[in-house]
């Protein structure tokens, strides 16, 4: 496990310099996709924490590494349903409370499911292009018999190949975290 953490920190540090120069060239849209990552130096007596903006798409492209694979390297997946119809939330729900009590954020990685317990993590894979995303169940729905899961807009747009479509066929797997 320590080797994996070291490798992840090494990758983040090497991508830092590339990411900073790349961010200057990116437009506002690319910068808005960036995530904040906290990095600490364990060798110093006082741990220095730096906030680094890393464009995750650029990170994947430069290094050829999928962050989904890095984050869930030790996780196992249990098939829940194949050929399920997935859609995404309308922007009018942004900021409203979900059935779990959390505020809904269309830029997060959340989902609504009719029966799965709140907090369940799911790997949702688009069957047409193989792209996948990890989401957390925070709401109930969709309230249509034809659809199995509602994703946040960000999660849906990451896996869909047709950005104008509102529904896609997916495979849903439950993420089983290692002990």
Range with the lowest mean pLDDT among 51-65, 70-84, 122-136?
A: 51-65
Beta bridge partners of 169: 85
Domains of the chain, CATH where assigned: 2-71 (no CATH), 76-176 (2.40.40.10)
- Residues 69, 60: Cα–Cα separation, whole Å: 11
Cβ atoms of residues 86 and 150 within 8 Å: yes
Nearest to 161 by CA among 133, 132, 128: 128
pLDDT tens digits along 4-24: 666 656 665 555 545 444 444
List all residues 6 or more positions away from 97 whose beta carbon is below 8 Å from its beta carbon: 103, 104
Q: What's the pTM value of the predicted model, to 2 decimals?
A: 0.60
In the chain, which residue ranges form alpha helices assigned H by DSSP? 2-25, 28-32, 56-63, 67-71, 153-159
pLDDT tens digits along 123-171: 999 999 999 999 999 999 998 889 999 999 999 999 998 888 889 999 9
Burial string for 49-59 (b: 16+ CB within 10 Å, else e) reads: eeebebbeebb
């Amino acid at each position: 496990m320590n080797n994996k953490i070291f490798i992840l920190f090494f990758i983040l540090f090497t991508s830092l310099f590339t990411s900073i120069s790349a961010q200057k060239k990116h437009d506002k849209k690319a910068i808005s996709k960036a995530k904040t990552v906290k990095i600490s130096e364990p060798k110093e007596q006082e741990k220095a924490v730096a906030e680094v903006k890393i464009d995750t798409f650029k990170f994947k492209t430069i290094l050829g590494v999928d962050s989904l694979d890095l984050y869930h390297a030790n996780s196992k997946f249990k098939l829940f349903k194949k050929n399920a119809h997935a859609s995404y939330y309308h922007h009018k729900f942004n900021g409203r409370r979900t059935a779990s009590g959390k505020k809904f954020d269309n830029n997060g990685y959340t989902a609504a499911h009719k029966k799965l317990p709140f907090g369940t993590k799911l790997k949702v894979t688009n069957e047409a292009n193989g792209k996948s995303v990890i989401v957390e169940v925070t709401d109930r729905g969709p309230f249509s018999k034809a659809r199995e899961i509602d994703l946040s807009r960000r999660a849906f747009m990451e896996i869909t190949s047709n950005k104008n479509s509102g529904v896609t066929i997916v495979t849903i797997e439950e993420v089983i975290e290692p002990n």
